[in-house]
Structures are given as C-alpha cells and as structure tokens.
Structure 1
Amino acid sequence: MFAKAGDVYCVYNTHLKKYTACQITKLEEKGEKLKAILLSLDWVGEQPLKEEELSSLKPLYKDFMYWERGLHLIYVDINVPANYIFIGNRSPLTTESTNAYAVSWENGYDVYRQLKWQEIPKEKRDFFKKADKSKEKVLFLGEECAISRQNLNSKLTEFDDALELKVFPCLSELTLNKWPQNLYEYLQFNPFLNVIKLENHEQTKLDFSHTYLRRLTLDMTGVKELQLNDDLEELILIGDFNENCQIQAKENGANLRLLLHKSVPIVQGLKDLGALHCSGILEIDFAQVLSCYPKLRELRLWGKPGNIRNFYKLSEFKELAVFSTVDLFGFTAEDIPRPEDLPKLNMFWMSSLPEDAAKVAKTYYKKQQEKGLNLWIQKPRKSEWLAQNLNNPFRSWDGQENISAANAKKAATLYKKTRAGISKLVKSSADEMMQQVTDLVRVYTEGFNKMDKRNCFIETSEREDIYTALVDLLNLIPAEFNINKEKLLQVFDELRDF
C-alpha cells in the first residue's frame, strides 16, 4: 500500500504499550524517488483511532532535550509498513517541508520520547532549556567551564566525586573509566543524564534501577549482578562476560536492545529480549540464539565476514519484525524461510550473502513489498568472491553505488600489496623498518589520492575504511620494533587529499 497526502495511520509502540498516530502531509520528489512527509500526531490510545476522531487530531510539537520546539516531520518511503493501520484521510495538518530523513517510519518513537520528557517536572525542564542557551560559566575542578556542557569524558577531565557534576544541568552523556564516588546519587538526581559508558569500574554488583538511562555501555568484567532501570532502551556489553551473571530488566528485556561484538553469550534474565544487534561476527549459531532469545522482534547482524550455523532456525522466530545481515555466509537457498514462516516481518535486509540464497530471498519476498515489507537484498556473492575477499577490508566497496568496480578492485590490491610489503620487513632493523614502512604508507595514501582525483568518491565512510585498514596494517608490525605508529598515521594525514 502506498501512502497518500492526508492519510492517517496508527502503530503500536512497545515502549508505551499504546497506539500512536501519524499523518502523511504530502508527497515530494527527492532525487529520483518519491518520498512522503510523515507528521507525528499528539495522540495516544489503548486502541487504534476511530475514523470519527480524525477531525479532532492535532500535530505533535517536539521539544525534548536539545530540540527547539517544532513539528516532528520526516521524509519516509511511500510504501506503508505492514504494521501500520490505515484509519482514514483528512486535510493535512501542515504544509511544511523538512530536512530530516528516516530509514523507517519509526513506530511512534519520538512520541514516546516527548511524553517521557513531559513527565519531568516543568521547573527542571525550564532550567535545562535556559542553561542550554546560556553563555554563563561555572567553576568545575578549579576551572571555568560552560554551564551548557552536554557531555564529559573522565579520561580527559578527571574527577573523584560524581556530585561535582551537578554544576552542569545539561549534562546528558558521561564516559567513565573508573568508579567515582556518589555515582548512584548523581544519576538519580539528574533526569537528563541518559547515556553512560562505564569501564574499569571494579564492581561486582551494579544497580541502575533508579536512574534515567536510555543507553548503557558497560564493561562486564567481574560483574555478577546487574539491575537495569525500566526505561533503558539499549545495553551495550563489552569486556569479559561472566555467563552466570544475573541481569534484572523490566519484562525480561522485552523493550531492550542488546548490542554485542563478535559473539552472543548466554545472558541470564533476558529471555524475552526484544532486539539483538551483533557486529564483527566470525560465527553465530541461530539454534543457540533461538534458545536464548526466542521472542526477538529485531535481529541485526554484521559479519567480519562470518558464517551462520543453522540458518533454517530463523523461521522459528515468530515475533520477528526486523531482520538484517551484512557479510554473513554459511547458508544456502534451502535455508531461507518463506513469508508465511515469519508472519510479523516488516523489514528484511540482507547485503553480501550467498548468491543462491539472495535469488531465493528476492523470489519469496518480492510480492510482500505490496503488503508493506521493506525489502533490500543486494550484493549476492559467489563462493569464489568469498575466497578472494576473506581478508579484504574493502570488500563492502564491491557493489557500492558510488564506487566503481575498478576502484573497489584497486583498493583491495593496494591493501594486499601494503600488507605483503610490511610482512617482508620483519627481518629489517628498527631504523630500516621505520623508513621503509613510511614509504609504504606514502604509496598507500597516494594510491587512494590518485583514485579519488579521478572520481571524487571518497567521503566520510570511505575515509574511515581507508584509515581503519591502515591501522590494522600497522598493527601487524611486531611490538619489539618499537615503531612510532602515531607518526606514521600523521604521515597519512598530511599526504591524503580526501
């Protein structure tokens, strides 16, 4: 179903456990595609809207956190997701355009965020907004700092007592590399502190149940018990994980998104987990994932590349609404589930996958697009491609729209030559090593300069790929050579034209 200007829809929001509403205000040509502008509406209900209520609808004004008060408008695909319920059509509530784009229709998330914001006492919200616009300075650890400061990293600004942070009323993000005094007390005091990264804390029991966190990145080394707050949306686990660790989360993690790297450990207490993301995968077993998290609504996976064992088990995730993989293999066309096996699926993305599986996935799900499925199957790979690209950090460039096949091949060749050159230098002296690696870095950088000069395709993500690949190459040099890698990266930075 395609959206039309004036259409009003409802969608169930899992955080609110209520329905939210939106309107398509107009359709516009953006580039070569027709896009719809979605307006969030100031309405929630236990049941979907009724058509007779359309005339009383009002737009939602968003002003939570750092947002200036305004309408919540975003460009979305004109294809209506399968989980959206059509209510009726009425005259658009605004004719405004927007600069904001979204991959999906967002399922009423910003409505939820605005309502949570409005639960904070008005005087605290007003003080936050005033401080955010203020140029006033406050004294922190003997130095003058802006009162409007939004984030702080203890590696750069060391402090011992978290209560000292009260001088920053707009602080919303905190990175800690040790456990400060009075952390719990401070977190319970500040309803705007939503994001924390906590490393090297040396705690075995952690209790965030009375905080206002939305995202928590946590070093799990030594942790035996972890209690989460009800509104936590995203939990990122790093460090050494103890599989006997007990985690307490609202509804066993039903509204939680768990982010992991390389592997999926067995986590106690998250049997109803709603979303799982895992990156850097070498191997993952869907049978194990199903056993641990049978009620997943969202499963997103990135390989290094890697393999999926028991892919056929995907058909048993009956609550699954969103599924995506990148650079993952080890399965065949026979393992692809049929649409009737995944009745709630509304987004199905697979990139860089076995060629036969890609063909079958497209065949099975092409007609589901008419019912609102967001389908994106790209970069089918032959077995020969995988053999050639297993250790190629530029494999994602192959098939990318803005990168020619020739440049993708040149990047892979340049990486292989640089890697081979570094490997041959192991028998060199330290002085010879530094000079010769400097020459390799120069050739590497100038190679990409030459490619980009002809096509101008290197932007932020490509630049990061080139830099990350170079860091990995320099890490191949044995530590005993005592090479100044920062100086080599400085050579790269000085020479690059992109």
Structure 2
Amino acid sequence: MSGRKPSSPPRPIAPGDIVIAFSETLDAWTAAQITGLDPDGQMAGVLDLDWSGPEPTSVADLGEVSPLVLTHTNWGDHLSHCNYEWVLPRSYRVIGSLPLLCSEPAQSYSTGWRLGERLALQRRRDRGERTPWSDPRELSITGTDVGRMTSEPVEPRRDIRHLRVTEVESLDCERLAEHFPELTTLSLSGDLGLLVHASGLNRLASLRQLWITDLFGMSASDALLPEHVPALELLYLGSIPHEYAVAMRSRWRPQVAYGTYVDITAARTPEWIAENRDNPLRHWDGREQISRTCFRKAVAQYKKTRAALIAALSDGSQEDRPARLHEIGREYGEAFNLLDRRTGFIETVEREELYAALDVMVSDAERALGVRLESAADILAAGVDAVRDW
C-alpha cells in the first residue's frame, strides 16, 4: 500500500467554494467559504460567513454575504477564520462558489468543523449578554459520575447531545447508550481505564463525533459499524487496543470518501500495556515529534534514575542524602539534555511530564521503603534545574 499523501480532499472542495451546514446552536442553516487548501497538512482554510437562515439551494439564496467578524475577544476585531481537516463532513455540502472574501491564510487550527458556534456566540454578545454561556445540551462529567447515574433506574437524558467523560476507570457503554440515547458528540478518556460492552455505542444512531483516548478492554467485535452509526463525521482514537484499532480502521477508512474524518493512532498491544502500565512516560510512545528510539531511551533513563533514587534512599545514610539526590537530578537533567539536543522533542508538555515523572519516582520509593520523603522531589527537581537546557 502506498504511503503517498493524497493531493486533493476526499470530498471535492476548492478555494472559493461556499459550504453550508445546519447548526444546532443557531437552529438554522449557516455557511462558510473555503479559502485555501494545504495538501501537505491536509487542512482546509474555512471562513465563517455572517449568515444564517432556511436551507439554501444556491449561493443566490444567501443574498449579499460578508465574513463573520468577531468583535468581542481579547485580541481585538478579527475574522472567524480557521484551518480544519480537509475532509468535508458528510452533513455539509457545497452550493456554489464566490470570489474569495479573504486572501490571507488562516492562522488558527482546530479539529472538527463546527459551523455556527462562533456566529451564535457573536450574536449573543451583540445583544449585550455578557455572562458566560454554556450549552444546556452539553455535559462534562467523570467516569465515576456516569457510573453512578447509569446504575440508577431513571428516565434517559434525551436532552444531552454532547457528552464528555473524563477519568474513566471502568465504564459500561451499554448503560451509557441507554442513559444518553440522543448523543451527537461523545468524548471518553481515561488512563488505562476500561470500556465494557463497547459495542453498545452502536446504539447511538445520531452520533457524529466520537473521541476515545487511553481506554482499553475493547476487541474487534466491539467495533462501531457504519450501518449503525451512519451520521459519524469524526472518529478520533488514541492509545487504544491494537485489535480494536485494526477493526475500526477497516470499517471506517472507506467512509472517509463520504465525509468521515478518521484519526487512529497509538494502537497498543497487550504486551505494551503490561510493560508500560507503571511508566509515567508511556504517552510519549507514538507522539508526533517523538521517535520510537527516543521513547525507548527516555524510558530507559527513567528506569535508571528510579533505580538510583531507590538505592540512594535504601542505604540508611542521612548525612549526604541531599547531595546524592541533587546529583541524581543533575544526571537525569543532563541525560535528557543529550536526548533533546539530538531531536528537539521536549516542549512545554514534555517538560512538565519529566518533572511529574520525578514525583512518581518518589512516590514509588515511599511505597517500596515505607517512609515519607518530604523534600526528595524538590531536591531532585533542583538538580534538574541546575543543568537542564529544555
């Protein structure tokens, strides 16, 4: 199979095209213009138009159009202009073309087209409504909250259309689908958590966007099926079981041509899960700017530093312990200086994760030795700060 990138979007769009979609937020149709295409990044520049109304059949139905200007932001007045993945969602369609209303490229990026949201917010602020707005159809809760809600015999929450569930430890998808049957957007995330009865998501016939991150327990038989979820426009899966990833790719890649954006990364084998369950840097495996070689070296250094820390704390000597911990921190910092010098992969997120890994080391040492180490993490971090270049 060729790895060559396509030179054009799977659904035909071109600069100047006017695309329309129905916006639940506006409860009306709205429109945007395609301002540019980036084959390398497979992105499309999308300029929101200051228009909403009944479903148009041609650009003539829009009347005189103008770009949406956002006037109530911290950055001053600016166009509502953003780069999205260039897969035109299946519920969107092109109704014609107009001369470009903006010749400058979009500077912002986002995943998941959401025409109408910014227009609705702008109009709300134009009416003088300044209080923070939240969509009454949207709910963000933890996995524990969902488990509690779905275990009780209550009426389904048909009013909820967008559900975000974080900190999932174990979640029954059959019960979730029963309790929230009208979902159009579902985001599930955990940290090696489990999805039970994941095939139950096939009951969400109105689903348009599905995000699953760092969750396991799913097999090929749990795959979401296009015939059951025909409206799906975005599928994002990251750090999920390898078997499930293969099955989902097989079923959904053919749907890209019809308007489903598919992004499936970091498929994990059972062996990977067993090996990395206690590895605080496991999320680096498969991250865009981090090579497999770099990941392996980073994990090896983490294990080396952890072993050195436990050894230093196990000998019972208190007198020179701060100096030894400071030196361990220095060695940790210097090792990652060397790794980063070669590839330049340590950015803000990775820097925070490297410091968080020190806290994990100290917690592991406390459990292993049965002691409380009040200042160990601070001393290690001070050693890192003394030498780090990242």
- What TM-score does the superposition give when structure 2 sets the normalisation length? 0.86
1:49 is aligned to 2:65: no
Q: 1:311 to 1:433 in 2, by over 3 A?
A: farther
Unpaired runs of at least 5, structure 1: 121-190, 193-211, 215-231, 234-252
Opposite residue 239 of structure 2, the aligned amino acid is S
Which residue number in structure 2 is paired with residue 166 of structure 1? Answer: none
1:58 is aligned to 2:98: no
Opposite residue 411 of structure 1, the aligned amino acid is A
CA–CA distance in structure 2, aligned partners of residues 332 and 261 of structure 1: 20
Q: 1:301 to 1:421 in 2, by over 3 A?
A: farther
What does the per-residue CA deviation read over 1:388-410, in whole Å, with 9 as the maximum and x for residues that have no partner? Answer: 11111222222233212111011
Identify which of 319, 322, 334 aligns with 2:209: 322
Q: What is the SS of the residue equivalent to 1:76?
A: strand
1:26 is aligned to 2:26: no
Identify which of 224, 240, 243 aligns with 1:337: 224
Which residue number in structure 2 is paired with residue 466 of structure 1? Answer: 354
Q: 1:85 to 1:265 in 2, by over 3 A?
A: same
- Indicate conservation of the 8 Å contact 1:299/1:320, yes or no: yes
Q: 1:275 to 1:469 in 2, by over 3 A?
A: farther
Opposite residue 325 of structure 1, the aligned amino acid is I
CA–CA distance in structure 2, aligned partners of residues 84 and 48 of structure 1: 12
Shift in Å at residue 369 of structure 1? 0.3
Q: 1:116 to 1:362 in 2, by over 3 A?
A: same
Identify which of 373, 377, 394 aligns with 2:260: 373
Identify which of 459, 463, 486 aligns with 2:378: 486
Opposite residue 332 of structure 2, the aligned amino acid is Y
- Indicate conservation of the 8 Å contact 1:263/1:283, yes or no: no
Shift in Å at residue 325 of structure 1? 1.5
CA–CA distance in structure 1, aligned partners of residues 169 and 305 of structure 2: 24
Opposite residue 458 of structure 1, the aligned amino acid is I
Q: 1:102 to 1:434 in 2, by over 3 A?
A: same
Which residue number in structure 2 is paired with residue 296 of structure 1? Answer: 183
Bigger mean CA offset, 439-448 vs 378-387: 439-448
What does the per-residue CA deviation read over 1:110-145, in whole Å, with 9 as the maximum and x for residues that have no partner? Answer: 11111111010xxxxxxxxxxxxxxxxxxxxxxxxx
1:364 is aligned to 2:251: yes
Identify which of 14, 20, 38 aligns with 2:24: 14
Q: Percent identity?
A: 28
- Indicate conservation of the 8 Å contact 1:262/1:279, yes or no: no
Q: What is the SS of the residue equivalent to 1:66?
A: coil
Shift in Å at residue 430 of structure 1? 4.7
Shift in Å at residue 26 of structure 1? 3.2
Shift in Å at residue 461 of structure 1? 2.1
Bigger mean CA offset, 85-94 vs 306-315: 85-94
- Indicate conservation of the 8 Å contact 2:169/2:193, yes or no: yes
CA–CA distance in structure 1, aligned partners of residues 208 and 74 of structure 2: 31
Identify which of 93, 104, 108 aligns with 1:96: 104
Shift in Å at residue 308 of structure 1? 1.1
What does the per-residue CA deviation read over 1:170-227, in whole Å, with 9 as the maximum and x for residues that have no partner? Answer: xxxxxxxxxxxxxxxxxxxxx54xxxxxxxxxxxxxxxxxxx233xxxxxxxxxxxxx
Q: Please give the residue correspondences for 1:224-243 in structure 2 after superposition, counting only pairs within 5 Å.
A: 232-233=134-135
Q: What is the SS of the residue equivalent to 2:109?
A: coil
Which residue number in structure 2 is paired with residue 72 of structure 1? Answer: 80
Identify which of 121, 125, 128 aligns with 1:117: 125
Opposite residue 469 of structure 1, the aligned amino acid is A
CA–CA distance in structure 2, aligned partners of residues 28 and 336 of structure 1: 31
Q: What is the SS of the residue equivalent to 1:341?
A: coil
Which residue number in structure 2 is paired with residue 205 of structure 1? Answer: none
CA–CA distance in structure 2, aligned partners of residues 312 and 297 of structure 1: 17
Which residue number in structure 1 is paired with residue 8 of structure 2? Answer: none
Q: 1:363 to 1:397 in 2, by over 3 A?
A: same
CA–CA distance in structure 2, aligned partners of residues 19 and 359 of structure 1: 37
What does the per-residue CA deviation read over 1:303-328, in whole Å, with 9 as the maximum and x for residues that have no partner? Answer: 31122111111101122111122222
Q: Please give the residue correspondences for 1:237-316 in structure 2 after superposition, counting only pairs within 5 Å.
A: 253-254=136-137, 256-260=138-142, 264-267=146-149, 271=157, 272-316=159-203
Q: 1:274 to 1:427 in 2, by over 3 A?
A: farther
Q: What is the SS of the residue equivalent to 2:108?
A: coil
Shift in Å at residue 347 of structure 1? 0.6
What does the per-residue CA deviation read over 1:408-447, in whole Å, with 9 as the maximum and x for residues that have no partner? Answer: 0111122223333444425635545434333332222222
CA–CA distance in structure 2, aligned partners of residues 472 and 443 of structure 1: 17
RMSD over aligned Cα atoms:
2.4
- Indicate conservation of the 8 Å contact 1:63/1:114, yes or no: yes
Opposite residue 30 of structure 2, the aligned amino acid is T
- Indicate conservation of the 8 Å contact 1:65/1:117, yes or no: no
Q: 1:69 to 1:334 in 2, by over 3 A?
A: same
Shift in Å at residue 55 of structure 1? 4.8
Give the paired residue count.
369
Q: 1:50 to 1:56 in 2, by over 3 A?
A: farther
CA–CA distance in structure 1, aligned partners of residues 38 and 182 of structure 2: 38
Q: 1:108 to 1:341 in 2, by over 3 A?
A: same
- Indicate conservation of the 8 Å contact 2:329/2:379, yes or no: no
CA–CA distance in structure 1, aligned partners of residues 236 and 43 of structure 2: 20
What does the per-residue CA deviation read over 1:68-119, in whole Å, with 9 as the maximum and x for residues that have no partner? Answer: 2232211223221112133222222232323222222223211111111101
Q: What is the SS of the residue equivalent to 2:245?
A: helix
- Indicate conservation of the 8 Å contact 1:348/1:373, yes or no: yes
Identify which of 4, 16, 21 aligns with 2:14: 4
